[in-house]
Amino acid sequence: MVKVIFIKANGEKRELEGQPGQTAMEIARNAGVDEIYAECGGACACATCHVYVDKAWADKLPAPEPMESDMLDFAVDPRPTSRLSCQIKLTEQLDGLTLELPVSQG
Ligand code: FES
């Protein structure tokens, strides 16, 4: 299992677990994390699964594909560590990955 920690804008933490190969978006949606709308279902076409990767983890993720980078232009309030959680595939090496949730995805 791979643990992923989601931190809400109000500081509330949720620790979730997923299987390698699942995406961070999938485990968030399955657990009812409201901030992750994921309107396109993971097709990298909506940016409503936007998260901020904790700085300690940002370099441990593979660089975004061009399609993800383009879509991040549509994210609300993007930052240098912004990623689309549907494009973050869990691996054993990402155990403990920490993602902050934006205030709004609307
Ligand atoms: S779920 Fe739509 S871009 Fe990630």
**Which residue of 44, 74, 82 sits with most ligand 1 atoms within 8 Å of its CB, as the best mutation to test the pocket?**
44
Interval 22-76: pLDDT, tens: 999 999 999 999 999 999 999 999 999 999 999 999 999 999 999 999 999 999 8
Cβ contact 16:4 at 8 Å: yes
Nearest C-alpha neighbor of 76 from the set 105, 49, 52? 105
pTM: 0.95
Three-state SS annotation for the chain: CEEEEEECCCCCEEEEEECCCCEHHHHHHHCCCCCCCCCCCCCCCCCCCEEEECHHHHCCCCCCCHHHHHHHCCCCCCCCCEEEHHHCECCHHHCCEEEECCCCCC
Q: Is the CB of 90 under 6 A from ligand 1?
A: no
Residue 103 banded pLDDT, cuts 50, 70, 90: confident
pLDDT of the residue at 14 = 96
Confidence band for 18, pLDDT divided at 50, 70 and 90: very high
Domains of the chain: 2-100 (3.10.20.30)
Please tell me the predicted confidence (pLDDT) of residue 37. Answer: 93
Integer Cα distance of 104 and 33 in angstroms: 12
pLDDT at residue 106 is higher than 60: no
Q: Is the CB of 40 under 6 A from ligand 1?
A: yes
